Amino acid sequence: MTTGDVTKPEPLAIRTAQASAQDDSTPFDIVQEYRTILASDPEISMPVAAIEALIALLGRTSATTAMETVSVIKTHAELLQQAVSNPVPLKAGTDLFQQYLLRSLKGQAAAGSAPPLSFDETRQHLLRNSQRFVTRAKAARETIAYKGAAYVKDGSVVLAAGGSRTVKTLLLRAADRHVERWGSPRFKVVYVMDGSRDSVPAVEALRERGVPVAEIEQSAVAFTLRAARVDMAFVGTEVVVQNGGLLSRMGTFQLATLCQAMKIPFYVAAESHKIVRVYPLSQADLPRCGVRQDVLEFKCAEQQKAEEEDSPDLFNRSFGQQASPIDYTPPEFISSIITEQGVKMPAAVYDLILDLYT
Amino acid sequence: MSSKQGGKGAGAGKGKKGAKGGAEEKRDDILQAVIIADSFQDRYAPFSLEKPRCLLPLANTPMIEYTLEFLAMNGVQEVFIYCSSANTDEVEAYIYNSSRWRNGSKISPFSSLEFIRVSDARSIGDFLRDLDKRALISSDFILVHGDLVANVSLDAALAKHRARREANRENCMTVILRSAGEDDHRTKTHGITPHFVVEPSTTRCLHYEETHPLQADHYLTLDPDILEHKEFEIRSDLIDCGIDICTPDVLALWSESFDYELPRKNFLHGVLKDHELNGKFIYTEIVDQGYAARASNLQMYDAISKDILGRWTYPLVPDSNLVLGNSYKMTKNGVCVENGVVIAPNATITESVLGHRSSLGSGSSVSNSIIGDRCKIGKNVRIENSYIWDEVVIEDDTQIYHSVLADAVRVGKKSIIPEGSLLSYGVSIAPGTQLPTDPAARISLKQGDGSPATDDASLVGENGKGADFHESASSDYDSDSEDEDFGTDPSSLQKSLIYSLEGLNISTSSISTLATHTSVDSDEVESQVNALQNADPTKSTTATASRNRLDSLSAFSAFSDDSMTGAFHTDAVNGLLDSLRAEDTDDFDGAKLEFMGLRLANNASDSSMRKAIAVSFAKRAAELTSTLDPAKAAQRALLDKKGAIKFIREVGVGGKEAEQAEFALALQNALVTQVMGKTLEAGKAGTVLAALLQQLYSHDVLEEDGILAWWNDGRAVEGGELMATVRDKCRVLVEWLENADEEESSEEESDDE
Amino acid sequence: MAPLLAGYAPNLEKFLKTLKGQSLEASTEGLIALLKRRQIRGAEACAFATARVLLQVVAKSKWTDVDQLLANVQKVGARLTHAAPRELVIGNIVRRVLGLIRDEASEERNADNEGSLMDSVSDLQTLQPSAATATSSGSQRPGPNPIKPTLTPAASFVSKSLFNLLSVVDPAESFTTGSPVTGSSTPIQQNSSATALKSEVIDGIEEIMDELSQADDQIAGFADVQIHPGDHILAYQPTATVEKFLVRAASKRHFTALIASGTPSPKGPEAYASLKKKLAAAGVRTVHVMSGSYAAYLPKVSKVILPAHAVLANGAIIADGGAACVARAAREYSKPVIVLSGVYKLCPENSSEVEDPIELGDSSAYVPFTDGPLVDGVDVESAVSELVPADLVDMYITNLGPHTRDHLDDILADHYKVEDIDFPLQ
């Protein structure tokens, strides 16, 4: 992205307009805001959506002093996390946002940015450029794709899982590279269809580019890894946790385990803003991390009946589209994490976290 | 510390160096090299008609690049490139356009690179004699050919050579040879086997000889005093890569014997033979590391290409991208591809090279082949062991096996190009054509003499382009067709892509036009040979046996116009013919001198001289018949040059009845061959013969008895009825001889024939 | 003009000698040719030659501001890396030099705009292309430099900033394309500073060269810590580095060295004669293990030492052909595998990024060319170098000391700049 749109005043104008419009009328509903943002842009990822929501809030809040603002943000951030079954991705966003504010309070510059701004400046800056953060997030995705595409060699077979848009773009870039070099994509893709809504378009897009794609059930993974002589596996993730592990769509752990068993490199494509300060110790530890899902329900006949009575999909209704269950993939299963800031070993994630909170 | 690094560097760099070089350190002179960029051969016909050999692509790289790289690799500083006028321009242009090699170019590894053109050069010998005159060479220099592919390090050899030379000025030359084991080896030259007699203790080379399957026996004639050496090896397992390290004296040697033409067969053989005279020593350096070979003919081209694919020539492999602007990349299963190559997903390709922006259609398979730049290969095409140069178009469902397709060749759909086919520049094969297998086709747009060929639809199909390629008929059309590298007809064995002795009795690689035009089968050829062997009175001791056999062979092919014939014979005949043809002077002594020179150099037997002379005069006469009537022709041929008659009398015949008969027979044979060569029709031939004999008779070269002896000689009629018909024409003359005895009326006699 | 040392054939030593006289272009092409002909090969030689040529670039090429200099270095660097794509160290040295230049440059700037930065800065201004600022404000002092922080030694490989997303400046610029832009093309008006920079950089490069030449000794410095009395050390095709290491250890410790050679090298057992002599002199027993049979010795072996051509970001190493086999065998017997490598061999590339790390060499390494039937009958693939997967390596000893795999990231961070990671641009 060029510095051109940096100074573009529109976003500011619009936002403040909305802001002033609804200012004193309806109380600001962070969750609603979040949902609308998420819905408005299919490309947007949960952490970014959360950040956007908070920025909106920042525009609306009547709080004047810095401390006030921070606390307002804090409460809303928690509100937001309450509202979803799997708060961790949002936590990634909100934490990042809050830390950024705090920093500007402390007057220390965030590394990789310009000299420290005053709190007001920061506020201004955030409001003015909110739109720009979204684009940046997408740019990050492009960068990852660009880096990751280099991994896909001539004649290789790549396994991709889940509806990760990052992985999708990555594979499309790879296809482009091959077309440049060979005139046609010289690699095959095995796509694990885990029923996420994004995987179907991904497959279609790849096939459009002339990449041969095979769709398989999750149950067929082990078989396929061998049968198709898979060279490497790419997955996206919802978050990368403190120790370099993943919290991601159910099945990722399974896949990672299989890949390690079969000595197949297991690469994770994740924007750095998906890194979050959470430290799950095991699968069983997820609830502690705030993840609410009941995948494991041991039932006997009567519970079963009891459930029949009141509608079965209560669970889903309560948590909307956030319902897809997740699992935890420990770092030792991960070959490396491709971020827009370079390819990192899981161990390197901690440095980033450290930096965020010091 | 840089010195320390240097130590590492030396370790990291090529092995050989290290301790050697003690010698060099003293003299800080620069290394010179001479590249012979002109082969004077037509082994690469028909391709060499369009481009000089050293510019033909070997693994998509002009051969001379390899040679220059080799010199740079060995730290050569000054390079001289010799070309005959025939192709200097192209080569010079090529070098000039390469920013790397151009003389004075900033990035050139050489401090200087000069072209020397010798307009009237007719052999490599002429080059080196010229070089001697110019006195450009200050000290040791490396002599190589423009078709050399090598990665050997010369440091060791140079050091040894220098040491030897400092020990004794007479140690003038070191021949670099690559051992290739006893077994059959693709990279050994086929057809002609070089034999080096080497003294292992000193690596001194004692004798050099070439043998070939066509010779009746496989004896080497060893100079008896070789046997005086305590031990010596006769090595036939060597690849002669034509790299010589020479002192300037070598050039002097060349100059001394003006008739040397070939570095090996003439020079090496000669110098070693006359060791007592010149007192020079020649040594061999037999390397068993690294690679060195000459792409001296298509079979070697084939072999070396395979060696490059097999990375035996490493680092001289495509993906080293030694040529500026190349960007080959090694990919799976031994495939090297340039940028912009388009390979359909389901095309299979193994052990091959694909040039810049070439495309390979779906379902096609390529193996062990080299494909040049911008080639378009359609769907379901099958290419094996083939060499396909630039901008070739191959349409769908075509199959190509072990062939060479030059630039801009076009092969239509569903065609089949079988083993050994050679398709020269711009040839186009119509769809659905199957080229002949036996003999494999050599198709070109040009004929041997460079004249455009008329498309032969029966061969290349409807509206295809090109026709079967014939050697040039005239022996003096250009430097290419004479001065053969290996003077005996086996060079024909090296003209095909695939070496085969079966190929002997088929036209493309035939022994002579004799076979080409009257597709005689081998045993008839044999009969000819025998006829001629009987033809010379052989006082046969084993020592001279092979000598004579060779004579008979060369003599036999001497009757063909074919360019490749016995060294002495060709040279003699050409020499004489030239002087006979010469318009300006009518003096014959020069020719005579040269002839005697040749005779001594090759210590040719009387019979072979006799044949040479007979053939040349017969040829001359035959030529003249095109303009004059036979009688006149004969007269001109013999009398134009003064001294010619005398020459024939003394040298050509120089004897009584028997010899005269021989000479007459030789004439007859020569003329018969002319007839077979389609340069003369039978009827005429007879008349010419008659006229010739009559003339010779009237100038007392042949006597009555001589002619009659010939007339009654059985050999005059055997060997094809042609002989008989020709002979018959002389009946009148003979009858007349038998009864008449006064000469006056002879003129009329001949006139009213 | 090339002075005659041992023989005529050029090599690193001769090449370095010619440098002075030659034009930059000549020396660059000269090196390229040598690299392509493998007359300069091996990490040490390549690295050193590269450094020397880049020195020439800084000294001789035309440049008036930092960006031009960077561009020049990158241009030459790219050509060198393409000449020998498998000698990854070349890329590393180029990155090092680039980083060096950026550092020096930023220091220059800081010197230029003392303090003048903070006060008048509003983010609006910050967000403007600073060049504009520089010109508009007509003053000598250039505008604030957006990505200065990444230039300061502090923040480097990992520009430790999850904040990039929110930060004022655009992180994207710095890495989406590994482009040379330093963000601000601050023309150095005063020639003085240009020359100052030049000399600074040249000193820097010389330091790098010293590092190269000292690396082996420094590594050897850790020998006695790693090798214990009574150890059986298996060294696979020992290079100069390993040689020093063992010899140093031998001076202090009494152990047994098993020297394994993979390819049936024509030299055979004589191959490492000098090393054996030195070790024997120090009273260390050496056993020469011919290709393959080392597995038999492994039960006795206490450590396996591998020399590396290059160490990749994820810990995989590129080593002599056959090394992976040794490493795997060692893993089977759970013997520690130690890799010796100067820091300069540590590449930011990941093993999967490296375009086909395996180099196929001269077939005659395995089959004698004199064996006609074999030459014609079989396809020989002799791997000069191959990839040893990260999980087979237990420890890396660089001139900075012993490291674990996870530590490599930090070392990279300290030696390369984010902007240069993607060099050379594909």
Q: CB–CB of C352 and A124 under 8 A? A: no
pLDDT in tens, A200-253: 899 999 999 989 999 999 999 999 999 999 999 999 999 999 999 999 988 999
pLDDT at B659: 80
d(CA B158, CA B281): 16
Say if CB B532 and CB B556 are below 8 A apart: yes
Q: CB–CB of A341 and C123 under 8 A? A: no
- Classify residue B156: in a domain, yes or no: no
Select the more confidently predicted residue: A89 or B740: A89
Least confident of B484-488, B735-739, C11-15: B484-488
Helix (H, G, I), strand (E, B) or coil at A335: coil
List the CATH number of the domain containing B562. Answer: 1.25.40.180
Nearest to A114 among C158, C169, C418 (CB): C169
Name which of A37, A266, A51, A44 is nearest A141 in CA terms.
A44
* Whether A111 contacts chain C with CB within 8 A: yes
Mean pLDDT of chain A: 82
A neighbours by CB contacts (3+ pairs under 8 Å)? B, C
Residue A63 backbone dihedrals phi, psi, to 5 degrees:
-55, 140
Residue B161, beta-bridge partner list: none
Q: CB–CB of C126 and A114 under 8 A? A: yes
* Whether A126 contacts chain C with CB within 8 A: yes
Residue B82, beta-bridge partner list: B36, B116
d(CA B291, CA B148): 10
Residue B225: how many other CB atoms lie within 10 Å: 10
Residue in B closest to A211 by C-alpha:
B345
Chain A and chain C share a number of CB contacts under 8 A equal to: 165
End position of a domain, from candidates B450, B468, B486: B468
Residues of A in contact with B344 (CB under 8 A): 184
Say if CB C100 and CB C208 are below 8 A apart: yes
Both B589 and B734 in one domain: the answer is yes
Both C373 and C409 in one domain: the answer is yes
Both C4 and C115 in one domain: the answer is yes
pLDDT at B11: 36
Q: CB–CB of B186 and C2 under 8 A? A: no
pLDDT at B556: 36
Both B564 and B713 in one domain: the answer is yes
Residue C397 binned pLDDT confidence (cut-offs 50, 70, 90): very high
Both B594 and B445 in one domain: the answer is no
Both C229 and C185 in one domain: the answer is no
Name which of B488, B317, A240 is nearest C38 in CA terms.
B317
* Whether B359 contacts chain A with CB within 8 A: yes
pLDDT at B255: 87
pLDDT at C305: 94
* Chain A, window 150-169: residues with a beta carbon less than 8 angstroms from a chain B beta carbon: 154-155
Q: CB–CB of B345 and A181 under 8 A? A: no
Residue B98: how many other CB atoms lie within 10 Å: 18
d(CA B85, CA C182): 57
Residue in B closest to C356 by C-alpha:
B331
End position of a domain, from candidates C181, C214, C247: C214
Mean pLDDT of chain B: 77
DSSP string, A26-58: SPP-HHHHHHHHHHH-TT--HHHHHHHHHHHHH
Tell me how many domains chain B contains. 2
- Classify residue C420: in a domain, yes or no: no
Both C207 and C282 in one domain: the answer is no
* List of residues 6+ apart from A42 with CB closer than 8 A: none
pLDDT at B501: 66
Both C300 and C408 in one domain: the answer is yes
Beta strands in A115-187 (DSSP E): 157-161
pLDDT at C425: 60
End position of a domain, from candidates B468, B494, B520: B468
- Supply the pTM of this predicted model: 0.73
Say if CB B157 and CB B174 are below 8 A apart: yes
In this model, does residue B219 exceed pLDDT 60? yes
B/e letters for C239-266, b = 16+ CB within 10 Å, e = fewer, are bbbbbbbbbbbbeebebbbbbbbbbeee
Q: Sheet holding B382-384: strands in order across?
A: B348-350, B365-367, B382-384, B399-401, B416-417
pLDDT in tens, B180-214: 888 888 888 888 888 999 998 889 999 998 888 77
* B585 to chain C, closest Cα gap in Å: 52
Name which of B201, B204, B147 is nearest B171 in CA terms.
B204
Q: CB–CB of C48 and B5 under 8 A? A: yes
Residue B651 structural domain: 558-744
Say if CB C93 and CB C54 are below 8 A apart: yes
What's the rounded mean pLDDT across residues B685-693? 81
pLDDT in tens, B257-266: 888 888 888 8
Q: CB–CB of A155 and B332 under 8 A? A: yes
Residues of A in contact with C170 (CB under 8 A): 1, 3, 6, 136
- Classify residue C423: in a domain, yes or no: no
Least confident of A64-78, B662-676, C234-248, C316-330: B662-676
Helix (H, G, I), strand (E, B) or coil at A13: helix
Least confident of A130-144, A237-251, B615-629, B668-682: B668-682
* Whether B106 contacts chain A with CB within 8 A: no
- Classify residue C193: in a domain, yes or no: yes
Both B463 and B570 in one domain: the answer is no
Both C84 and C163 in one domain: the answer is yes
pLDDT at A70: 85
Both C156 and C232 in one domain: the answer is no
Both C269 and C204 in one domain: the answer is no
Say if CB C1 and CB B147 are below 8 A apart: no
Both C40 and C109 in one domain: the answer is yes
Residue C363 structural domain: 221-415
Residue C259 backbone dihedrals phi, psi, to 5 degrees:
-100, 115
In this model, does residue A330 exceed pLDDT 90? yes
Nearest to A113 among C163, C405, C406 (CB): C163
Least confident of B22-26, B280-284, C392-396, C400-404: B22-26
pLDDT at A262: 94
* A341 to chain C, closest Cα gap in Å: 7
Name which of A22, A91, A2, A109 is nearest A62 in CA terms.
A22
d(CA C280, CA C288): 13
Residue in B closest to A188 by C-alpha:
B345
List the CATH number of the domain containing B346. Answer: 2.160.10.10
Both B621 and B734 in one domain: the answer is yes
Residues of C in contact with A121 (CB under 8 A): 122-123
Residue B61, beta-bridge partner list: B58
The complex's ipTM?
A: 0.79
- Classify residue C410: in a domain, yes or no: yes
Say if CB A271 and CB A261 are below 8 A apart: no
Residue C130 binned pLDDT confidence (cut-offs 50, 70, 90): very low
* List of residues 6+ apart from A355 with CB closer than 8 A: A111, C160, C161, C162
End position of a domain, from candidates B436, B468, B500: B468
pLDDT at A59: 83
Distances from the Cα of A239 to the Cα of A271, B587, C166, angstroms:
9, 103, 18
pLDDT at B530: 41
pLDDT in tens, B124-141: 888 888 888 888 888 889
Helix (H, G, I), strand (E, B) or coil at B456: coil
d(CA B372, CA B404): 11
In this model, does residue C66 exceed pLDDT 80? yes
Residue B684: how many other CB atoms lie within 10 Å: 20
Helices vs strands, H then E, count in chain A: 13, 10
- Classify residue C55: in a domain, yes or no: yes
Say if CB A277 and CB A356 are below 8 A apart: yes
Both B461 and B582 in one domain: the answer is no
For tokens 């749109």, name the residue.
Answer: A5
Helix (H, G, I), strand (E, B) or coil at B61: strand
Select the more confidently predicted residue: C137 or C186: C186
Residue B315 backbone dihedrals phi, psi, to 5 degrees:
-85, 10
Both C279 and C358 in one domain: the answer is yes
Residue B639 binned pLDDT confidence (cut-offs 50, 70, 90): confident
Both C70 and C152 in one domain: the answer is yes
pLDDT at B22: 40
- Classify residue C155: in a domain, yes or no: yes
Select the more confidently predicted residue: B723 or B446: B446
Both B333 and B464 in one domain: the answer is yes
What's the rounded mean pLDDT across residues C244-267? 83
In this model, does residue B401 exceed pLDDT 90? yes
* List of residues 6+ apart from A38 with CB closer than 8 A: A44, A46, A49
Q: For chain A, how big is the Rg over CA atoms in Å?
A: 22
Tell me how many domains chain C contains. 2
Residues A341-344: contacts with CB under 8 Å, at least 24 apart: A341/A272, A341/C158, A341/C159, A341/C161, A341/C164, A341/C171, A341/C175, A341/C418, A342/A147, A342/C157, A342/C158, A342/C175, A342/C348, A342/C418, A342/C421, A343/A147, A343/C313, A343/C314, A343/C350, A343/C353, A344/A244, A344/C158, A344/C409
pLDDT in tens, B487-534: 446 677 777 888 776 544 433 333 333 333 333 344 444 444 444 344
Nearest to C363 among B106, B311, B321 (CB): B311
Q: CB–CB of C26 and B6 under 8 A? A: no
Q: CB–CB of A184 and B344 under 8 A? A: yes
Residue in C closest to A153 by C-alpha:
C355
Element (H, E) at B676: helix B657-676
Residue in B closest to C13 by C-alpha:
B6
Helix (H, G, I), strand (E, B) or coil at C260: strand
Residues of C in contact with A96 (CB under 8 A): 162-163, 165-166
Residue in B closest to C82 by C-alpha:
B327
How, if at all, do strands B281-287 and B335-337 pair? unpaired
Residues of B in contact with A181 (CB under 8 A): 339
Cite the DSSP H helix spans in B103-247.
124-134, 155-167
Residue C256, beta-bridge partner list: C232, C285
Residues of A in contact with B341 (CB under 8 A): 182-183
Select the more confidently predicted residue: C22 or B600: C22
* A22 to chain C, closest Cα gap in Å: 26
What are the structural domains of chain A? 11-142 (1.20.120), 151-357 (3.40.50.10470)
Residues of A in contact with C409 (CB under 8 A): 344-345, 347-348, 351
C neighbours by CB contacts (3+ pairs under 8 Å)? A, B
d(CA C279, CA C277): 5
In this model, does residue B359 exceed pLDDT 60? yes
End position of a domain, from candidates C214, C229, C249: C214
What's the rounded mean pLDDT across residues C187-197? 67
- Classify residue C422: in a domain, yes or no: no
Exposed, middle or buried, A108 (CB in 10 Å: 0-12/13-18/19+)?
Answer: exposed
d(CA A34, CA A49): 6
Residue B749 binned pLDDT confidence (cut-offs 50, 70, 90): very low
pLDDT in tens, A298-317: 888 887 787 777 655 554 44
- Classify residue B398: in a domain, yes or no: yes
* Chain A, window 324-353: residues with a beta carbon less than 8 angstroms from a chain C beta carbon: 335-336, 340-345, 347-348, 351-352
What's the rounded mean pLDDT across residues B300-321? 91
Q: CB–CB of C11 and B18 under 8 A? A: no
Both B577 and B461 in one domain: the answer is no
End position of a domain, from candidates C192, C214, C236: C214
What's the rounded mean pLDDT across residues C149-173? 50
Q: At what angle do helices A119-149 and A88-106 cross, to 10 degrees?
A: 130
Q: In this structure, what token pair is assigned to residue B745?
A: 């009326």
Residues of C in contact with B153 (CB under 8 A): 7, 9
Residue A196 binned pLDDT confidence (cut-offs 50, 70, 90): confident
Residue B112, beta-bridge partner list: B78
* Whether B339 contacts chain A with CB within 8 A: yes
In this model, does residue C11 exceed pLDDT 80? yes
In this model, does residue B59 exceed pLDDT 50? yes
Q: Give the end-to-end CA distance of chain C in Å, rounded to a whole number.
A: 37
Both B332 and B451 in one domain: the answer is yes
d(CA B722, CA B503): 26
Residue in C123, C396, C411 to test binding to A, most A beta-carbons within 10 Å: C123
List the CATH number of the domain containing C89. Answer: 1.20.120.420
Helix (H, G, I), strand (E, B) or coil at C17: helix
In this model, does residue A110 exceed pLDDT 60? no
Both C1 and C122 in one domain: the answer is yes
- Classify residue C273: in a domain, yes or no: yes
* Whether B348 contacts chain A with CB within 8 A: no
pLDDT at B468: 86
In this model, does residue A100 exceed pLDDT 90? no
Exposed, middle or buried, C295 (CB in 10 Å: 0-12/13-18/19+)?
Answer: middle
List the CATH number of the domain containing C380. Answer: 3.40.50.10470
Q: CB–CB of B322 and C376 under 8 A? A: no
Least confident of A175-189, B50-64, B722-736, C204-218: B722-736
- Classify residue B134: in a domain, yes or no: no
Say if CB B172 and CB B282 are below 8 A apart: yes
Residues of C in contact with B181 (CB under 8 A): 368, 370-372
- Classify residue B349: in a domain, yes or no: yes
pLDDT at C212: 93
In this model, does residue C140 exceed pLDDT 90? no
Select the more confidently predicted residue: C374 or B485: C374
